[in-house]
Structure 1
Amino acid sequence: MAGQFEHLPLPKINIQLPRRSGGGGFGKKKRDDRETHGRQLLSQISGLTQSVKERKSSFRLDPKLIFKVKLAKDFNLSEDDLTKSGLTLLGREPVANKAIVVFASDEELTEFRSRMENYCGIKTEHKYDYLDAVEALVPLEPQDRLGRLLEIEPLQANEIAALDLELWHTGDRAEMQKYIDQIRQDLQKKSTASAVFKLTDFYLGDYLCVVRIKVNQELLDQLLNEFIVKEIDRRPKAAFETRADYNPSLSELPNVISPSNNCCGILVIDSGVRRGHPLLAPVIGETEVFPDAKREFIKGSADDEADHGTGVAAIAAYGDIEACINKRSFDPTAWIFSARVMNEHNEFDEDLLLENQLEEAILYFINEYPNCKVINISLGNAEQVYQEGRKQLRIAARIDELAYRYQHKNILFVIAAGNSYYYSHRDVRELFRADYPNYLLEPGARIIDPATSAIALTVGSLSLGRGSMTYPTDARRNAVAKISGYPSPFTRTGFGVDGMIKPDLVDFGGDFVLDGDRLAMDNDAAVSIVTFSQNYTSSLFKISSGTSFAAPRVANLGAQLFNKYLDASSNLIRALIAVSAELPREIPSPFQIGSKQSQKQKSAQLEKQLAVYGYGQANTQRAMYSADNYVVLLEDHLEIEVGSFDLFEIPALPSEFLQKKGKRLLSIALAFDPPTRHTRGDSYLGITMEYNFFKGVDRDSVISAYVDAEKAQKTKKTENYSELSVDKLKQKFGSGCVVNLSPGANRRKKGTLQRGRVEISSQATKYDQGSMYLVVSCNRKWVKVEEIPSQRYALVAAVSHSDGEVDLYSRLRNQVRQRLRV
């Protein structure tokens, strides 16, 4: 970004608004054209079976009848129904949204054809209603088999590349071995003296069949047309090969200057830290053992004996350790305080409540050290997986209580989402690769206690996008996610209590390396996170993977923001981080939103994105500074009466912003810290907040619409003030006056951190025709207004253009100054 400027204030006016809430629902459609639709499907069945008979394989591979079943948007097919129809489920094809890939051992599709004839009325033996779910039967195309890395980096002319070829596993290992042998033989026959093609390695398991091949573009094209081929892709590139070599002696270490006395401190609640580490010692404020001064449970000192807290603390202090190594310079941006709460076996004291242990540690440090503003918790209870519809989990509830009780201290909690070993049993670990990333959305992969905390920032994990450095020619050994920004195969996902967006953010935490059926995630430097070693006398650095090491990256950013905004509330820090967050450039196809999808399909895909990524990966530069083409407007320490609304004005956007080609984004982030109660099944939050954004309207009309909502409520006996107000403005100014931010209000308002965003198209209107208005409202759930009459919050708006030449900052700054003077 060009330039680096201070963020701007956001003009505000307070208006009163009655309390309100919302609701809604929808029905399900049924297919009523079975005869016509069924006959179309029968024709498609004939086409599929005929294509198998006519197929001539240049690799002499048996053309198995493998095809794609596209599903209707309101339906699904169970695996049991497929089996009864003579089909075997091979996988779910996310690129086509609702589609599954199936295998038919009967090349005539006899049973499936018979059931379809009954379905459409040719026969009348059974109805087979479940076939309503089948939208179309289509063959797999070569593009369906092309891996993402090959899409990004196609083969060059005359290039012979080592590629990973995965075959559809039919469940018959002997049959799959024949395919492997046939590919090996055919590649040898196609080789010449000047172009050697071969199969160098393979892995055949119960669920996964992968071979390493060396081919050129011509052979790649042939293989992409083979029915049995699932995917062909490049091997991920290994990086940082010199990492293991950088282990300097103590005399060669760069000089580390301790942070200034008023620099923000981060409390790491973990297994302790190794105080003698030469790169960590200069940034340690104080370390202590909790809970027992007598050392009856934790018999040692505050030093890390489990080799976990030291690694977490290093990232909290420095951020990206790998970057520090590369530049041979370590410049800490935070003090580190350490509360050791586990013994050398990473166990908690069985005689004490962890809630009390945490509270004792937190209160000690925030009272003794006013600069201790960020608390990193990279631990959790793997047995306490949050289940949809359940009440809040215990430790998370205590953290929320502490955050509310001591909100005047402005403490930012950052918590790791937790690690999931979904296929933990050796016999099914191949599915970490074969079924990636579908299992991330399974109930067993949901976030754990205390990651469900409503007021904390919960952080999931991303892959660095690297392949295995160990035995790089071994087809058995490969990374699972293997593309930068793809979710780590161990990360846990949302949603949280009452459906709130969790995790809030993601950051780099590493990947799995699967060596056959063995996980080797912490033994491969390329896919792991670099941090400090507890045993620094033998090695200063270590490698590790886990959400534990993603969370302190966000904690470090929080500390940097507190250093910049000395009087900031924790709400402002959360809002700035959220508004800066972006989805990674590359995300797996099951989570992508396609332009040809229906609105309902897009909504479903957005839900998946939010469950895995939250609001995305934070950007330090964008959180801290505005630029010529990126402007942040903010307000902090706001106080709103329960049952009222606040009105904010965002200046009209300059015409150049809309006319210049590029990507235009407008984002709004709201953060608040309400009272909570985990015993309340109706609402965990005692106070909720939400916002709506309008363009092409005048200020008085907005105020009138919300004030009139009170009268409508009394008449209609409804509390849905927001919908009443929005409907009135739509009637007067047209539906285009409401800016539809994503995610929508119904999902956003469930949490205490709400980020909504809209991409402004070149055809958009009224963004440059007068001021726009942002309405923030506060609603009572179960608090008594006489006891808690108001709620504090922070609000941030950001406008950006991808073209760095767009002069957005100076123009908005001048308009903001004029409004503030008025």
Structure 2
Amino acid sequence: MSEQLSLIEPQRHTHLRLAAATDPGPRRTRTPGRGGAPAYTDRERHAEDLGRQVSTIADEHRRRSEVLGVDPELILVLEINGPLDPADVERAGLRVLELRSDRALVAFAQDPELTEFVRRNDLYMQGTRGFTDKGYERAAEYETLFDKIDALRPIGSRDLIGVELARHLDEGPDPGEVVRLEINCWCSEDAGEAQRRNADVAAAVGRAGGTVHATSVRATAGWSVVCCDLPVGMLEEVLATDRISWVDLMPSPMLDAPEFLSATPESLPLAVAPSSTAPILAVIDSGIRSAHPLLAPAVIGAEAVGEGIADGGDESGHGTLVASLGLYGSLEEPLATRSSVVPAGRLLSVRVLDRNDRFPDDQAWPDLLLEAMTVAAEAGARVINLSLGDSRRPYAGPRPTPIAAMVDQFIRYHQDVVVVTCAGNYDSGQHDLGRLRSNDYVADLLTLPEPGILDPGTAALSLTVGGLGGGHHQGVFVRASADKVVVGGPNLPSPHTRVGPGPMGAIKPELSAPSGSAVVDTVVGREDRGSTLGKVVGAGGNAPDRLLAAGRGTSYAAPLVSHGALRVLGQYPELNGNSVRALLLVGADQIPTYLDSGAPARQDERRLTGYGRVSPERSEMSDDHRVVLLSQHTIRVNQAHFYRVAIPSSFRVAGGRIDLSVALAFDPPVRVTRLDYLASKMSFQAFHGPSLEEVRLAYVKAATEEDLEDDVALTPSGLRGRLDLQPADTERSRGANQLGRYVRHQKVADDRPDELVIAVRNQNRWDVDNAEQRYSLAVMLQRDTGHPSIYAELRAELEPLVEIEIEAEAGF
């Protein structure tokens, strides 16, 4: 959404505090519904097929012998046709290890004979259990389990080997060649069981002639890893222990090597030191050039984490460029005018990459990442920027990843910290050159092979950032000519950005920012990767004689969102992480549509650029015609809160445009082995017509009469006046960072009520009863500048957001 141009600079104001929630409305806890016709009407035949498969699997397992001193376990793949409750699987005698996809669930059979599974299958085989008094057929016993299972099979090597390792094996290496591997072990929530499997793999590697460099087990995040050197020829035997969920070559980080530009200290903007209370930005990256004129006034520390990383210096320049963008945002204008600049915060660098721009290859990089994040939090960082990614396993969904869970658990524990991640980069060389020039590459991004977001950008509680093409003034116009075409533009996705959604279909990336673009040389007919046209410009750290750098990639989009978070915290230091995320979402500029018309096209646009372009200015402050209200609160699970929002008198004046945006951010517990990764779901709806009491009573009545379905998107039937916030609740409520927008071009009639009502709901999935969930709700009201302002009117009724006082939730 773009504001109309005005010759008068709008006056900036602090945001306002949204009045505390009224007494919440109760909601009854429900077991998720599993209705619908059975997939297998011939239950006897289906049960017989499953029984034969179980018998074959059990016979083959009995014939297996010890491998490398380890007794093989029976690990099964359940090929399923729809959502399967892990609790049903575990009651049948299997331990769920991983939801590999929406079509496969991996489980461990502690009893290789599968006695309980066979018993239940025999009962299912007997078919339906008669009819109800009303004539409805009763389901077969255990139908909810066996109706969802199409087949069972033991796990095989094809399920376990990653892309990079598979490519290397296809080259036919010598069996004696030693490769450095990251081995992921099966990791249940039982910490002892997870540790046992990890130790078994480490021992097997040693007996196979390998060397173990590091091990790590974090059962609550589903993370168990052995980093090792291993002869290629022994890989199959190690896999045969059935302790391994995935193995690949050790990763290298996703970095774009910046091209350095000539500059002198005198040509740079004068950097003024931030205040001693400015929020701290932690850049976890390749280190920084701490004496750089643009960074030095803000640097409070340069740490290093990981074996072989001796100091916090920056050999590649990546971390230095990222840090400058986080502190200052886009630097093109200050560089051109040589005006002074003030960093939005203080800077802490935590280096995790070695001199070759790689994670140390004898340690698991997620462990280093978590250690670095902990170092940052303990040093007081309020914003953590992660412009890193693992390109080996692009997200394919719907399962969450252990790495995402580790980051999410960190965020939930450190509730005052905002974590910003990048979506990751796709090689623009994969695009057809002609379609790059015509901008048809935008549609191609959705269909390219493995286009998914890279870890840790899949973390549900982080803000993930996608890339937008270069603006007309972005980059350095050296060697420019009419023959070189900058692909796309400021309102189109970059050709290198990666594509959502995130876990469980959540909108990812949530925000987008300029990340540079590709340049096509029309004379030679190829992409010009050396050109600085359209690239992101910032501080350079590679060499003493290079002070500026230009690069492209979502690595450089993420710190622009981190910059926005710093600016919000600079104004409102008492806010928690949820509130900062909500303000960044509600302040985002809506990007004009760029795909075909219709709802599916809008969904595809959100997969590319999220809810819109980050706007630090709009997130930081309100103005005369745009007012942001914020509530920072706590809700008990399975309850609802209700808010009044006054309608300004300017909305009753004819003509122009009226905008309403609502953003919600919350930080639920997460668990990778649950079908519902987030412990609870939250959602919001806005109403104009019914009073707050009418809305509240409708929700309470619906909870009593079972009028509310399990899906949080639905509102009580018969409740009129719901505003059509977009995207629809069914889409936005899948994630922990949500935004809905409503636009109208007609005035509000004089006989309509003077207030809107916003309902916020929580639906418990697997959290403990009476658990309390933190959340923040941001509401933006906007009127075009050709009509009377609205800030003063709302300010007369509401407190300025100087500090937040959390009020206790009303009791029942």
Instruction: Give the TM bin, normalised by the shorter chain.
Output: 0.5 to 0.7
Match of 1:479 among 449, 469, 486: 486
Assess if the C-alpha contact under 8 Å between 2:783 and 2:789 holds in 1: no
Q: Deviations over 1:343-367 (max 9, x none)?
A: 1222112222222211211212221
Secondary structure at 1:458's aligned position in 2?
strand
Structure 1 residue 25, shift from structure 2 partner: 12
Larger relative helix fraction: 1
Residues 262 and 545, structure 2, Cα contact 8 Å, conserved in 1: no
Instruction: Give the structure 1 partner of residue 458 of structure 2.
Output: 452
Distance 1:799 1:25, change over 3 A: farther
Residues 374-418 of structure 1, C-alpha deviation per residue, up to 9 Å, x if partnerless? 0000010112211132x11232221111111222xx110001111
From 713, 716, 719, the equivalent of 1:729 is 719
TM-score by length of 2: 0.65
Quick check: 1:531 aligned with 2:538?
yes
2:436 paired residue number: 432
In structure 1, the residue matched to 2:356 is: 345
What stretches of structure 2 of length at least 5 have no aligned partner?
1-8, 37-258, 806-812
1:560 is displaced (CA, Å) by: 1.2
Paired residue secondary structure (2:22): strand
User: For residue 727 of structure 1, what is the amino acid of its counterpart?
Assistant: S
Shift of the 316–480 alpha-carbon distance from structure 1 to 2, 3 Å rule, reads same
Mapped to 2, the partners of 1:355 and 1:751 lie a distance apart of 23
Could you report, residue by residue, the CA deviation over 1:524-556 in whole angstroms, capped at 9, with x for unpaired residues? 233111111113522211111111111101101
Structure-2 change in CA distance of 1:318 and 1:469 (3 Å): closer
Deviation at 1:695, TM superposition (A): 0.9
For 1:562, the equivalent position in structure 2 comes to 569
Q: 1:543 to 1:10 in 2, by over 3 A?
A: same
The structure 2 residue matched to 1:622, chosen from 595, 618, 621, is 618
Corresponding position of 1:704: 697
**Map of 1:311 onto structure 2:** 321
Please say if residues 394 and 450 of structure 1, whose CA atoms lie closer than 8 Å, have aligned partners that are also in contact. no
Asked whether the 8 Å contact 2:261–2:550 carries over to 1, the reply is no
Aligned length: 563
Q: CA deviation at 1:512?
A: 0.2
d(CA) in 2 for partners of 1:627 and 1:254?
A: 28
Cα distance change, pair 448–803 in 1 and its aligned pair in 2 (3 A): same
Q: Write the letter of the residue equivalent to 2:623.
A: A
Q: Work out the CA distance in 2 between the residues paired with 1:281 and 1:571.
A: 30
CA contact (8 A) 2:409 2:669 kept: yes
Paired with 2:333 and 2:708, the residues of 1 have a C-alpha distance of: 60
Are 2:11 and 1:3 equivalent residues in the alignment? Answer: yes
Q: Deviations over 1:70-125 (max 9, x none)?
A: xxxxxxxxxxxxxxxxxxxxxxxxxxxxxxxxxxxxxxxxxxxxxxxxxxxxxxxx
**Residue pairs, 1:220-619, within 5 angstroms:** 247-250=262-265, 255-292=270-307, 297-298=308-309, 300-328=310-338, 329-367=340-378, 369-370=379-380, 372-389=381-398, 391-407=399-415, 410-421=416-427, 423-424=429-430, 428-433=432-437, 435-442=440-447, 444-466=450-472, 469=477, 473=481, 475=483, 477-481=484-488, 483-515=489-521, 516=524, 518-521=526-529, 523-585=530-592, 587-588=593-594, 590=595, 593=597, 602-619=598-615
Q: What letter corresponds to residue 274 of structure 2 in structure 1?
A: P
> Taking structure 1 as reference, are residues 333 and 430 closer, same or farther at Cα in structure 2, changes over 3 Å only?
same
Q: 1:621, CA displacement in angstroms? A: 2.2
Q: Where does residue 686 of structure 1 map in the other structure? A: 679
Provide the aligned C-alpha RMSD in A. Answer: 2.9
Of 732, 738, 743 in structure 1, the residue corresponding to residue 722 of structure 2 is 738
| Contact kept in structure 1, 2:16 and 2:799, CA below 8 Å | no
* d(CA) in 1 for partners of 2:33, 2:654: 40
Q: Which runs of 4+ in 1 moved over 6 A?
A: 20-26
One-letter amino acid matched to 2:655: K
8 Å contact from structure 2 (residues 655, 747) kept in 1: no
Does 2:669 correspond to 1:675?
Answer: yes
Q: Deviations over 1:649-701 (max 9, x none)?
A: 011331x3242422210011111011111222x11101111011111112222
Deviation at 1:702, TM superposition (A): 1.3
Say if 1:759 and 1:485 are closer, same or farther in 2 by CA, change over 3 A.
same
Name the % identity: 30
Three-state SS of the structure 1 residue aligned to 2:664 is strand
Whole-Å Cα distance in 2 between the matches of residues 474 and 722 of structure 1? 51
1:650-799 equivalent positions in 2, closer than 5 A: 650-654=645-649, 656-680=650-674, 682-713=675-706, 719=710, 723=714, 725-730=715-720, 737-762=721-746, 765=749, 768-785=752-769, 789-799=771-781
Contact persistence 1:400–1:455 (CA under 8 A): yes
Measured in 1, the distance between the counterparts of 2:744 and 2:34 equals 28
Q: What is the distance in 2 between the residues matched to 1:505 and 1:623?
A: 13
Does the CA-based 8 Å contact 2:637-2:772 persist in structure 1? yes
2: CA distance, partners of 1:779 / 1:727: 18
How much does 1:330 deviate?
2.9
Relative to structure 1, is the Cα distance of residues 766 and 374 closer, same or farther in structure 2, using a 3 angstrom cutoff?
Answer: farther
Secondary structure of the 2:781 match is strand
Distance 1:304 1:670 in 2: 37
The CA distance in 2 between the partners of 1:699 and 1:446, in whole Å, is 42
Question: Cα offset for 1:740?
Answer: 1.2
CA contact 2:651–2:747 (8 Å) conserved in 1: no
TM-score by length of 1: 0.65
Cα 1:720–1:251 change in 2 (3 A) is: closer
Q: Flag the 1:495–1:245 CA change in 2: closer, same or farther, 3 A.
A: closer
Letter in 1 for 2:410: L
Equivalent residues of 1:277, 1:536 under 8 A apart = no
Partners of 1:721 and 1:578 lie apart in 2 by 21
Distance in structure 2 (CA, Å) of the matches to 1:717 and 1:322:
52
Q: Aligned runs of 1:158-173 on 2, under 5 Å?
A: none
Report Cα offsets for 1:140-185 as digits up to 9, x if no partner: xxxxxxxxxxxxxxxxxxxxxxxxxxxxxxxxxxxxxxxxxxxxxx
Quickly say closer, same or farther: Cα 1:770–1:813, change in 2 above 3 A: same
Deviation of residue 320 (structure 1)? 1.5
Report the Cα offset of residue 453 of structure 1. 0.9
CA distance in 1, matches of 2:681, 2:506: 12
